Amino acid sequence: MIDLTEIQPRGVDRFETRRPVPPAKLDALSKEILALKKKLNAVILAHNYQVPEIQDVADFVGDSLGLSQQAARTSAYIIVFCWVHFMAETAKILNPGKIVVLPDKDAGCSLEESCPAPKLKALQDTSPNFWTIAYINCSAEVKALSDVICTSGNAVKIVNAAPKDRDLLFVPDENLGAWVMEKTGRPMTLWRGNCYVHVEWTHASIVRIRSQHPGAPLVAHPECTRAVRMLADEVCSTEKMVGYCRQSPAQAIIIATEAGMLHRLKKECPDKEFIPAPTDNCRCNECRFMKLNTLEKLYDCMANLAPRVELSEATLERARLPIERMLEISARP
């Protein structure tokens, strides 16, 4: 059980909890989680793809940029990160002295897997002029080898701010990298990794759903392939999808990203219809890593303060620099 001597007081965070669920509508386990959160002075950060019941008990739900910003500014001593492992690591890198726990330590990511640090180092060693931009979906060791981190929400800004005299190396998502090249006109060497979920949408599956809903705009994540992106009315991060859908006059909108996004969108825009873009195979729009996290595991990780993120001093120190550089560039007007 929890050793309460580890818990230190904190100030009051002003979290922008998006459309909180009234306590009366929460089930018994969710109420216990909220009570435990209060006792621990913990903060729960959750990604837009998490299952609805986790989103509903979180202090902040958002995309990787928003979650990084929240992790950087929280005064909570215990951070509960409901997403995949690399983001919990990011929170630890920004808060080396704090406790960071996650519901399931096996929640990984196909992008992270595609880019082992030794392989990246070997490529970097082939040219001293590389400037490495790493998508946040990578391990702490890869972050430690990088010059700057980006998310889908700020990748264009980060690439535009990169030194003009350096050769850009973008890892590990080739689709996000290709989209950023189109937007910035800046050539980059792309690592050959991808999100195994977002490459499931095909040109044919999107053409089919568009023909069934002729008036509905299509919003796609930049991790989708170019064949899908070229059919989209808007390509953006998950948080920007919320903004797009809020301001769109359309009553029905087709969404090409992980299925968890639908819960957030329905909460933010209750009067609109969201149509999940179908993949050619059943349930391929659910990330198996994201779905490892359940309400039960969330409760357990808070009750046991485990699993915890632990990283070496050297990795913590070296990986902080490119993340802080990202946050600084993102905050520029």
Residues forming contacts to ligand 13P in the complex (CB under 6 A) are 48, 63-64, 137, 151-153, 195, 221, 223, 237-238, 258
Work out how close the CB of 223 gets to ligand SF4 at its nearest, in angstroms, rounded to a whole number. 6
- Provide, rounded to whole angstroms, the least separation between the CB of residue 142 and ligand 13P: 15
Q: Where are the beta strands (DSSP E) in the chain?
A: 42-47, 60-62, 78-82, 99-101, 130-135, 148-150, 167-171, 188-190, 218-220, 234-235, 252-256, 273-276
Q: Which listed option, ligand 13P, ligand SF4, none, makes contact with residue 196 (CB within 5 to 8 Å by class)?
A: ligand SF4
Residue 86 interacting partner from ligand SF4, ligand 13P, none (CB closer than 5 to 8 Å by kind)? none
- Give the residue, chosen from 196, 240, 318, 324, that forms a contact with ligand SF4 under the rule CB under 6 A: 196
48 is a contact residue toward ligand SF4 (CB under 6 A): no
Separation between Cα atoms, residue 58 and residue 20, nearest integer Å: 9
Stretch that binds ligand SF4, among 105-113, 185-193, 272-280, 305-313 (CB under 6 A): 105-113
Q: Tokens at residue 331, please?
A: 């905050």
152 binds, among ligand 13P, ligand SF4, none (CB under 5 to 8 A by kind): ligand 13P
Smallest separation (angstroms) from ligand 13P to the CB of 204: 22
Q: Is 141 helix (H, G, I), strand (E, B) or coil?
A: helix
Number of residues in contact with ligand SF4 under rule CB under 6 A: 13
- Provide the 8-state DSSP code for 218: E
Which residue from 197, 206, 241, 256 is in contact with ligand SF4, where contact means CB under 6 A? 197
Both structure tokens of 223: 């991790």
Contact between 69 and ligand SF4 (CB under 6 A)? no
The torsion defined by the Cα of 222, 223, 226 and 230, in degrees rounded to 10, comes to -40
289 binds, among ligand 13P, ligand SF4, none (CB under 5 to 8 A by kind): ligand SF4
Q: What is the spatial distance between Cα 203 and Cα 178, in angstroms, rounded to a whole number? A: 17
Can you tell me which of 155, 287, 295, 301 binds ligand SF4, judged by CB under 6 A?
287
Amino acid letter, 315: T
Please give the structure tokens belonging to residue 205. Answer: 């599956």
Q: How far is the CB of 30 from ligand 13P (least distance, A)?
A: 23
95 binds, among ligand SF4, ligand 13P, none (CB under 5 to 8 A by kind): none
Instruction: Report the residue count for the chain.
Output: 333
Instruction: Report the distance separating Cα 223 and Cα 328, nearest Å.
Output: 24
Sign of the dihedral defined by the CA atoms of residues 63, 65, 68, 73, in that order: negative
Identity of the residue, 77 or 289, whose beta carbon is nearer to ligand 13P in the bound complex: 289
